[in-house]
Protein backbone atom coordinates (compact mmCIF):
# COMPACT_ATOMS: atom_id res chain seq x y z
CA UNK A 1 0.00 0.00 0.00
CA UNK A 2 1.57 3.34 -1.02
CA UNK A 3 2.08 5.94 1.68
CA UNK A 4 -0.93 8.22 2.12
CA UNK A 5 -0.64 11.58 0.38
CA UNK A 6 -3.46 12.84 2.61
CA UNK A 7 -4.32 11.55 6.07
CA UNK A 8 -6.98 12.86 8.42
CA UNK A 9 -7.08 11.48 11.96
CA UNK A 10 -10.21 12.07 14.05
CA UNK A 11 -10.92 15.42 12.37
CA UNK A 12 -13.86 17.37 13.72
CA UNK A 13 -15.28 20.75 12.71
CA UNK A 14 -17.68 22.67 14.94
CA UNK A 15 -19.21 26.03 13.97
CA UNK A 16 -20.40 28.31 16.77
CA UNK A 17 -23.17 30.80 15.94
CA UNK A 18 -25.38 32.58 18.48
CA UNK A 19 -24.38 30.07 21.16
CA UNK A 20 -25.47 27.19 18.92
CA UNK A 21 -22.97 24.46 18.10
CA UNK A 22 -23.17 22.95 14.62
CA UNK A 23 -21.09 19.80 14.19
CA UNK A 24 -20.19 19.92 10.50
CA UNK A 25 -17.68 17.05 10.67
CA UNK A 26 -17.34 14.36 13.34
CA UNK A 27 -14.55 11.80 13.80
CA UNK A 28 -13.35 11.84 10.19
CA UNK A 29 -10.60 9.32 9.44
CA UNK A 30 -9.52 9.47 5.79
CA UNK A 31 -6.54 8.44 3.71
CA UNK A 32 -5.93 9.24 0.04
CA UNK A 33 -2.96 7.61 -1.65
CA UNK A 34 -0.80 9.25 -4.30
CA UNK A 35 -2.37 8.69 -7.73
CA UNK A 36 -5.79 7.81 -6.33
CA UNK A 37 -9.12 9.19 -7.64
CA UNK A 38 -11.62 9.63 -4.82
CA UNK A 39 -15.11 11.10 -4.87
CA UNK A 40 -16.98 12.44 -1.85
CA UNK A 41 -20.75 12.25 -1.99
CA UNK A 42 -23.75 12.75 0.27
CA UNK A 43 -26.87 14.89 0.70
CA UNK A 44 -26.80 18.68 0.91
CA UNK A 45 -25.49 19.84 4.28
CA UNK A 46 -23.68 16.60 5.09
CA UNK A 47 -20.24 18.24 5.33
CA UNK A 48 -18.80 17.65 1.84
CA UNK A 49 -17.76 21.25 1.21
CA UNK A 50 -16.44 21.65 4.76
CA UNK A 51 -14.28 18.57 4.31
CA UNK A 52 -12.94 19.83 0.98
CA UNK A 53 -12.19 23.24 2.51
CA UNK A 54 -10.12 21.55 5.22
CA UNK A 55 -8.30 19.39 2.66
CA UNK A 56 -7.55 22.54 0.65
CA UNK A 57 -6.29 24.46 3.72
CA UNK A 58 -9.06 27.00 3.26
CA UNK A 59 -10.35 26.09 6.71
CA UNK A 60 -8.94 24.44 9.83
CA UNK A 61 -10.39 21.56 11.85
CA UNK A 62 -11.62 22.22 15.38
CA UNK A 63 -9.70 19.14 16.48
CA UNK A 64 -7.81 16.22 14.98
CA UNK A 65 -4.76 16.19 12.70
CA UNK A 66 -4.22 16.60 8.98
CA UNK A 67 -1.08 15.28 7.28
CA UNK A 68 -0.28 16.29 3.69
CA UNK A 69 2.71 14.62 2.03
CA UNK A 70 3.82 13.31 5.42
CA UNK A 71 3.78 16.73 7.11
CA UNK A 72 1.33 18.01 9.71
CA UNK A 73 -0.48 21.04 8.31
CA UNK A 74 -3.12 21.54 11.01
CA UNK A 75 -1.10 24.16 12.92
CA UNK A 76 0.44 26.19 10.10
CA UNK A 77 0.27 29.99 10.08
CA UNK A 78 -1.87 31.75 7.46
CA UNK A 79 1.23 32.58 5.40
CA UNK A 80 2.48 28.99 5.56
CA UNK A 81 -0.95 27.66 4.57
CA UNK A 82 -1.04 30.00 1.57
CA UNK A 83 2.37 28.78 0.48
CA UNK A 84 1.37 25.12 0.76
CA UNK A 85 -1.88 25.79 -1.14
CA UNK A 86 0.03 27.47 -3.94
CA UNK A 87 2.53 24.63 -4.32
CA UNK A 88 0.68 21.47 -3.30
CA UNK A 89 -3.01 21.93 -4.11
CA UNK A 90 -4.91 22.63 -7.34
CA UNK A 91 -8.50 23.84 -7.02
CA UNK A 92 -11.34 23.33 -9.51
CA UNK A 93 -14.51 25.17 -8.48
CA UNK A 94 -18.13 24.80 -9.59
CA UNK A 95 -18.26 28.49 -10.55
CA UNK A 96 -14.89 28.42 -12.40
CA UNK A 97 -13.57 31.45 -10.42
CA UNK A 98 -11.75 32.91 -13.41
CA UNK A 99 -10.83 36.62 -13.33
CA UNK A 100 -12.89 38.39 -15.96
CA UNK A 101 -10.42 41.12 -16.93
CA UNK A 102 -7.54 38.68 -17.42
CA UNK A 103 -7.06 36.62 -20.58
CA UNK A 104 -7.16 32.84 -20.54
CA UNK A 105 -3.35 32.78 -20.55
CA UNK A 106 -3.11 35.32 -17.72
CA UNK A 107 -5.61 33.40 -15.58
CA UNK A 108 -3.58 30.21 -15.90
CA UNK A 109 -0.24 31.96 -15.40
CA UNK A 110 -1.38 33.81 -12.26
CA UNK A 111 -0.64 31.13 -9.60
CA UNK A 112 2.94 30.93 -10.85
CA UNK A 113 3.54 34.68 -10.44
CA UNK A 114 3.06 34.26 -6.69
CA UNK A 115 6.05 31.92 -6.69
CA UNK A 116 8.35 34.50 -8.25
CA UNK A 117 8.90 32.17 -11.19
CA UNK A 118 10.81 33.58 -14.20
CA UNK A 119 8.58 34.83 -17.03
CA UNK A 120 9.73 32.28 -19.62
CA UNK A 121 9.09 29.34 -17.30
CA UNK A 122 5.66 30.75 -16.41
CA UNK A 123 4.82 31.11 -20.09
CA UNK A 124 6.00 27.62 -21.00
CA UNK A 125 4.09 26.01 -18.14
CA UNK A 126 0.88 27.96 -18.80
CA UNK A 127 0.89 27.13 -22.50
CA UNK A 128 1.59 23.45 -21.78
CA UNK A 129 -1.29 23.29 -19.27
CA UNK A 130 -3.69 24.92 -21.75
CA UNK A 131 -2.64 22.50 -24.49
CA UNK A 132 -3.25 19.59 -22.12
CA UNK A 133 -6.91 20.63 -21.64
CA UNK A 134 -7.47 21.47 -25.31
CA UNK A 135 -7.55 25.25 -24.86
CA UNK A 136 -4.25 26.23 -26.43
CA UNK A 137 -6.12 28.03 -29.23
CA UNK A 138 -7.94 30.37 -26.81
CA UNK A 139 -5.01 31.96 -24.95
CA UNK A 140 -5.94 35.56 -25.88
CA UNK A 141 -9.67 35.21 -25.18
CA UNK A 142 -11.36 36.48 -22.03
CA UNK A 143 -13.60 34.28 -19.86
CA UNK A 144 -16.78 36.02 -21.07
CA UNK A 145 -15.93 34.95 -24.62
CA UNK A 146 -15.94 31.25 -23.66
CA UNK A 147 -18.67 28.70 -23.06
CA UNK A 148 -19.11 27.23 -19.59
CA UNK A 149 -17.35 24.05 -20.62
CA UNK A 150 -14.42 26.01 -22.01
CA UNK A 151 -14.17 28.11 -18.86
CA UNK A 152 -14.01 24.97 -16.75
CA UNK A 153 -11.24 23.60 -18.97
CA UNK A 154 -9.28 26.80 -18.36
CA UNK A 155 -9.93 26.40 -14.63
CA UNK A 156 -8.54 22.85 -14.81
CA UNK A 157 -5.44 24.18 -16.60
CA UNK A 158 -4.98 26.78 -13.85
CA UNK A 159 -5.24 24.01 -11.24
CA UNK A 160 -2.66 21.91 -13.11
CA UNK A 161 -0.10 24.57 -13.95
CA UNK A 162 1.64 24.49 -10.58
CA UNK A 163 2.09 20.69 -10.74
CA UNK A 164 0.24 20.18 -7.43
CA UNK A 165 0.27 17.04 -5.32
CA UNK A 166 -3.53 16.82 -5.48
CA UNK A 167 -6.44 18.28 -7.45
CA UNK A 168 -9.49 19.20 -5.36
CA UNK A 169 -12.65 19.52 -7.45
CA UNK A 170 -15.79 20.98 -5.84
CA UNK A 171 -18.85 20.04 -7.94
CA UNK A 172 -16.84 20.64 -11.15
CA UNK A 173 -19.86 19.90 -13.38
CA UNK A 174 -22.42 21.76 -11.27
CA UNK A 175 -22.74 24.75 -13.63
CA UNK A 176 -22.48 22.76 -16.85
CA UNK A 177 -25.00 21.04 -19.11
CA UNK A 178 -24.75 17.27 -19.36
CA UNK A 179 -22.60 17.23 -22.51
CA UNK A 180 -20.03 19.70 -21.17
CA UNK A 181 -20.15 17.97 -17.81
CA UNK A 182 -19.27 14.66 -19.40
CA UNK A 183 -16.40 16.26 -21.32
CA UNK A 184 -14.93 17.75 -18.15
CA UNK A 185 -15.26 14.42 -16.36
CA UNK A 186 -13.52 12.70 -19.29
CA UNK A 187 -10.72 15.25 -18.96
CA UNK A 188 -10.32 14.49 -15.25
CA UNK A 189 -10.25 10.77 -16.05
CA UNK A 190 -7.45 11.36 -18.56
CA UNK A 191 -5.49 13.41 -16.03
CA UNK A 192 -5.87 10.59 -13.52
CA UNK A 193 -4.50 8.10 -16.04
CA UNK A 194 -1.37 10.25 -16.31
CA UNK A 195 -0.84 10.07 -12.56
CA UNK A 196 -2.88 12.93 -11.09
CA UNK A 197 -4.33 12.50 -7.60
CA UNK A 198 -7.92 13.75 -7.55
CA UNK A 199 -10.44 14.29 -4.77
CA UNK A 200 -13.83 15.39 -6.08
CA UNK A 201 -17.04 16.42 -4.36
CA UNK A 202 -20.09 15.63 -6.47
CA UNK A 203 -23.80 15.09 -5.96
CA UNK A 204 -24.09 13.31 -9.31
CA UNK A 205 -23.89 9.54 -8.90
CA UNK A 206 -23.05 9.12 -12.61
CA UNK A 207 -19.85 11.10 -12.18
CA UNK A 208 -18.99 9.64 -8.78
CA UNK A 209 -18.65 6.27 -10.54
CA UNK A 210 -15.65 7.63 -12.46
CA UNK A 211 -13.64 7.56 -9.23
CA UNK A 212 -11.78 4.53 -7.89
CA UNK A 213 -13.41 4.99 -4.49
CA UNK A 214 -16.47 6.87 -3.28
CA UNK A 215 -16.74 8.12 0.29
CA UNK A 216 -20.30 8.77 1.49
CA UNK A 217 -20.89 11.40 4.16
CA UNK A 218 -24.03 11.79 6.26
CA UNK A 219 -24.42 14.28 9.09
CA UNK A 220 -20.68 14.98 9.05
CA UNK A 221 -19.61 11.36 9.32
CA UNK A 222 -18.22 8.82 6.89
CA UNK A 223 -21.00 6.23 6.67
CA UNK A 224 -19.85 4.16 3.71
CA UNK A 225 -17.03 3.64 1.23
CA UNK A 226 -17.52 1.98 -2.13
CA UNK A 227 -15.36 0.85 -4.99
CA UNK A 228 -17.36 0.87 -8.25
CA UNK A 229 -18.07 -2.42 -9.95
CA UNK A 230 -17.02 -2.24 -13.57
CA UNK A 231 -19.32 -4.04 -16.00
CA UNK A 232 -17.99 -4.91 -19.41
* pTM, two decimal places: 0.89
When pLDDT is averaged across residues 27-50 and rounded to a whole number, the result is 92
Q: What does the pLDDT look like over 73-120, one tens digit per residue?
A: 978 899 999 999 999 999 999 999 999 999 999 999 999 998 889 999
Residue 227 main-chain phi, psi, to 5 deg: -110, 125
Residue 29 main-chain phi, psi, to 5 deg: -115, 120
pLDDT of residue 205: 82
Task: pLDDT band for 187, please (50, 70, 90 cuts).
Answer: very high
pLDDT of residue 17: 83
Task: pLDDT band for 229, please (50, 70, 90 cuts).
Answer: low
Q: Which homologous superfamily does the CATH classification assign to the domain defined by 36-57+76-226? A: P-loop containing nucleotide triphosphate hydrolases (3.40.50.300)
How many Å apart are CA 151 and CA 142, to the nearest integer? Answer: 9
Asked if 48 and 12 count as a contact pair (C-beta separation under 8 A), the reply is no
Amino acid sequence: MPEALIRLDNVQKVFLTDEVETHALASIHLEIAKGEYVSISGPSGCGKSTLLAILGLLDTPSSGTYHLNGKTVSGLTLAERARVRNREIGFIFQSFNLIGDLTVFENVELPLTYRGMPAKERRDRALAALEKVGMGHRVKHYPAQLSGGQQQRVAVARALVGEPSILLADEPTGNLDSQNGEQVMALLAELHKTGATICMVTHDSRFAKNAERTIHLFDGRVVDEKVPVLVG
